[in-house]
Amino acid sequence: MNNKFVLGVLVSNQYGVLMRVTSLFARRGFNIDSLTVGETEDRAYSRITITATGDDATKEQIIKQLRKLHDVIKIDLMPPETTVIRELMLIKLRATGQTRGEILDAVNVFRCKVVDFTPDELCIEMTGQSSKIDAFIDFVAPYGIIEMCRTGVVALERGSGSLINRGNE
């Protein structure tokens, strides 16, 4: 059974660390759905958020193989029910006098934001769960997508815990 899952990976902020992680996925034949990386509250560490798809055995292998990398400090499998998961998208849509109103209605319903506006185009910024972003794309696709980009997922555990302070499992 293949499932999507989200991993929070705390890594040393070192040369090549992102490549070590991605190269491990490539060489072991694991697929990455999305990957984001950025600094954390402690500059010594970066945090990589990976979404991947696979069965339980693959998931276990990914976690264990990542744990073997010298620069990987901690890994957390982030269950959707206890995790805040967000993604950001910018999408540029064709908008004519006729369709603009309909698109703006959708922008309201989906609670996104118009960030650029020309006579024949609307650029929209949207944050949310990936599924919500998917739903929005499905809805607006018939109007004509000029271009779009998505950041991939970032995720934090709900509550007061943190990956840096948590003991090793």
Partner 1 sequence: MKEKTKKLSGAEIIVRTLIEENVDTVFGYPGGQILHIYDELQKKRRHIRHILTAHEQGAAHAADGFARTTGKVGVVIATSGPGASNLVTGIATAYLDSVPMVAITGNVPTDQIGRDSFQELDIADITMPITKHNYIVKDIRELHRILKEAFAIAREGRCGPVLVDIPKDIQIAKTEFTPVSLPEKNQPEPSEDELSSAAAIIESAERPFIYCGGGVVSAGAGELVKELSEKIDAPCGASLMGLSAIEHDFPSMLGLTGMHGHPFATRSMKSADVIIAIGARFTDRATGAHGEIVKDAQIVQIDIDPAEVDKNVKDAAYVIGEIRPVLTALLERIRPQKHPEWKKTVASLPYRKKAENDDKLTPYKIIDAVADYSRGLSIITDVGQHQMWTAQRYPISGERSFLTSGGLGTMGFGMGAAIGASIAKGGKRCVLFTGDGSFGMNLTELATAVSYKIPLVIIIMNNKSLGMVREWQNAMFGRESQSALERKTDFTLLAKAFGADGAKVKTVSELDAALKRAFDPKNTLPFVIDCDIMPNETTVTD
List interacting residues with partner 1 (CB under 8 A): 15-16, 19-20, 23-24, 27, 57, 60-61, 64-65, 67-71
Of 69 and 164, CB closest to partner 1 = 69
- The SS3 assignment for 65 reads helix
Q: How far apart are CA 140 and CA 142, in angstroms?
A: 6
Report how far Cα 17 is from the mean position of its chain's Cα atoms.
Answer: 19
Minimal distance, residue 142 CB to partner 1, in Å: 44
Neighbouring-strand partners of residue 148: 91
Smaller CB distance to partner 1: residue 36 or 61? Answer: 61
In angstroms, give the least distance from the CB of 88 to partner 1.
30
Q: How far is the CB of 33 from partner 1 (least distance, A)?
A: 22
Q: Which is nearer to partner 1, 27 or 41 (CB)?
A: 27
Residue (13 or 65) nearer to partner 1, CB: 65
In the chain, how many H helices and how many E strands?
Answer: 4, 8
Pick 24 or 85: Cβ nearer partner 1: 24
Q: Which two tokens stand for residue 103?
A: 């698109």
CA distance 152 to 29: 20
Per DSSP, the residues of 102-129 read HHHHHHHHTT-EEEEEETTEEEEEEEE-
CB of 42 to partner 1, least distance (A): 19
CB of 49 to partner 1, least distance (A): 22
